A = this chain, B = another copy of it.
Amino acid sequence: MPRKICVVVASRANYARVKTLLKAIQEHPELELQVVAGASLVLERFGNAVDVMSMDGFEPDATIRFIIEGETPVTMAKSTGLALLELPTVFELLKPDVVVTVADRFETIATAIAAAYMNIPVAHTQGGEVSGSIDESVRHAVTKLAHLHFPATELSAQRVISMGEDPATVFNLGCPSIDLVAATDLGLRQDTLSHFGGAGAEIDPGRPFVLMMQHPVTTEYGQGLDQINATIRALTAIGLQALVFWPNVDAGSEQVAKGLRLFRETGESGGCHFFRNLPPEIFVKLMAHCACMVGNSSAALREGAYLGTPAVTVGTRQRNRERAANVVDAGHDAKAIAAAIQGQIEHGRYERSTLFGDGRAGERIAETLAVERPSIQKKLHPGSLAVELAPF
């Protein structure tokens, strides 16, 4: 009987980061894929990315809705709670042998807790990375709950081990998000975007354009409107056409969305087109062709490294995250952001970096899931820790 591998996919960003893994599990003779769709992935307001996923051949085995509207710190904590009421029901039904949880979001930790309490081994991708926002803490907490680790870089793998994980459970196989980039035809036609709706000005991909995606920073809750406004002013100053994405569902999202809405409604967003969601491959094409990417999405660092996308990362959300040469930092200051964008546009594209993988992570992870049998009872691994510890 094949091992049942249940992957919880909970946002458009999540999906891009496990798509090739889903495929590899689906095709592996000893594995059976179970997909749980949840959170913003299944919301019309966020572009209903679940439809894209289904069309790609990954029909969800279960769909759960656990986003409590409001996007405040309180609703973020409570949405985690609601996810913890929903996920056990799904796991009880699907009886997976392993649950895969992605990255560092509230559904990530809810998935890890639900599975761990139910004695189902947890596999975690993207452990060991550092960043800002609450994601930093959540990512490492999930590492401590996970039984198998698939960090995306060598440094991340070493951090995971250093935190006390057994090296035998840590596998640096690269990030599946890079697989998707590597497999994508990067051509961008004049009409590529016309299929995907959105609102605002039409963008001519033949001319330079900026890609903007900025999320709230939970640990700086209340500053989201100011933060997006600084970036908007920089964008306006640059004067290029731009593709602008709505933010994710983190606490503070409504403030960022409000900034974008006012930008639209007051009519200054003349050269901008607004998207809720795009299929991952289309987003990759845009990253491959944009003059510059701006905001605080980790895509700029991750996929951007492989694509050599000139990027300006604002604020603290990606602070300290490993990156290649393509990223420049800026504070929440319109002038500084505009100057940084200008500099990146002048520099042009960067060399490819394989820091986050070479394009074959999905199949390697699937293969590892097929053979590893971690103990459900975790133990702090004494040999991994820095200090000289008494035997225990």
Contacts and interface: CB of A to CB of B under 8 A. Distances in A.
A377 B320 contact: no
B130 A80 contact: no
Contacts of A77: 84, 87-88, 113-114, 117-118
A322 B392 contact: yes
Contacts of A78: 65, 84-85, 88
B254 A45 contact: yes
Given A141-B142, A199-B264, A219-B119, A75 B81 contact: no
Interface string A309-326: 000000010001110000
A316 B377 contact: yes
Interface stretch (A12-20, A159-167, A232-240, A346-354): A159-167
B116 A137 contact: yes
Contact of A117 (B68, B73, B390): B73
Contact of A198 (B106, B199, B254, B265): B265
A26 interface: no
A272 to B, nearest CB: 14
Contacts of A168: none
A74 B44 CA distance: 15
Interface residues of A, number: 90
Contact of A69 (B68, B81, B261): B68
A81 B112 CA distance: 12
Interface of A: 42-45, 64-78, 80-89, 92-93, 106, 109-110, 113-114, 116-119, 130, 132-134, 136-138, 140-145, 155, 158-159, 161-164, 197-199, 218-219, 221, 251, 254, 257-258, 261-262, 264-265, 316, 320-322, 376-380, 384-387, 389-390, 392
30 contacts: A43-B69, A43-B254, A45-B69, A65-B68, A67-B68, A69-B69, A73-B117, A74-B89, A74-B118, A77-B118, A81-B85, A81-B88, A85-B86, A117-B134, A117-B218, A130-B379, A136-B378, A138-B145, A158-B385, A159-B380, A162-B387, A163-B163, A163-B164, A198-B265, A199-B261, A199-B264, A199-B265, A219-B376, A321-B392, A386-B386
Given A77-B118, A161-B387, 16 more contacts: A44-B257, A64-B89, A65-B69, A68-B69, A77-B88, A80-B81, A89-B89, A109-B113, A116-B134, A117-B218, A119-B218, A141-B144, A158-B385, A159-B387, A162-B164, A320-B379
